[in-house]
Amino acid sequence: MKQLITFSALVLVSFSSCSQQSKTIVKAEDPKTINYTTEIVVPDLDIPWGMVFLPDESILITEKSGKLIHFKDGKKTSIEGLPEIYVRGQGGFLDIELHPDYKTNGWLYFSYASAQGEGNGGNTAIMRAKLKGNQLVENQLLYKASPNTKKGQHFGSRLEFDNDGYLYFSVGDRGNRDENPQDINRDNGKIYRINDDGSIPKDNPFIHKPNAKPAIYSYGHRNPQGMTKHPLTGKIWTHEHGPKGGDEINIIKKGKNYGWPKISYGINYSGTSFTDHTSLPNMEQPLFYWTPSIAPSGFAIVSSDKYPTWKGDLLVGSLKFQYLERLILKNNQVIKREKLLEGMGRVRSVIQAPDGYIYVGIENVGIVKIIPKQ
């Protein structure tokens, strides 16, 4: 059953546009300015990590615990034929994406933690498969990060196709910040780009570097759990978790170094410093960073006519503070922040669906639809 909820709280956050760092909350708006309601369209989910809408408007939802759920006509069905999923800490069944030509070829793509390969423990893997009834068929492993480790943190992982049909995916540093992110000979702490069949594009930036991982597209990342294609430019945007402070939004550029852990606006969780630098030569600056951290997960850029006043704005889930954040841009500068869905729960995923509406995956709630008021 669909559940309707009306919200009565809105908070705006303002700051100087030149700093690109969040400042103090300065005012609360009149509840009468709330311009949306919400509807729970898929109830009773634990950790809905990712979701996609199929051409028949049904939904495929990944549960971190290792389930793929097909929601159709008000009913949930568990899909069989998944690979063995390594569930540990932040690892499990992660993101899901459709091929841009899904209606013709039927390929769907997903990321998950896998124990397959070298070493004990697990690491992030990318697979594609087709859905036949309630079964995955023609499963093909496209990429498996190595080596495995028993550490439970920083698997990433989001998936996104660009306008040229390349598949991008993120893999976190797996808790090994001092070795993995800055070394292109090692997996982890990277954004990768592959062809839709798992082969490596001939113009990938490190394909001719001896011993480098040829799928790497950019490096120096910590734990990217948000990735989306900009609806106008076609560029891939990501956000990633910092430590204590320093969550970042980045526009991904070919072969670039995003600095982790050599530069950061964050500090250790203990309060001590691990770097003296927020910038260094040949390292990219974030478009925006959060201090304190919001623990971002899920990422969408609004382009739908359903939300005319939100067009071009960013939507980012906050795991830590349990809200959906709207970031208002002007000339690629964040000029205002707004809290949506505050207090509903930990926001894990957010997408703009083919019907033009925004859908949000909230832990221990389900899939929530944001409905603009007329």
Q: What are 154's two structure tokens? A: 């920083």
**Phi/psi class of residue 194: alpha, beta or left (left: φ > 0; alpha: ψ in -120 to 50)?**
beta
β-sheet with 366-372: strand ranges across = 3-6, 36-43, 366-372, 358-362, 347-352
Task: Spot the catalytic one: 154, 221, 239, 241.
Answer: 154
221 is catalytic: no
Cis (ω within 30 of 0) for the bond into 292?
yes
Report whether 80 contacts 52 (CB < 8 A).
no
Q: Is 156 exposed, middle or buried (0-12, 13-18, 19+ CB in 10 A)?
A: buried
CB 64 within 8 A of CB 96: no
Is residue 95 within 8 Å of residue 141, measured between CB atoms? no
Beta bridge partners of 301: 314
d(CA 251, CA 256): 10
**CB burial of residue 118 (10 Å; 0-12, 13-18, 19+):** exposed
The residues annotated with a catalytic role in the active site are: 154
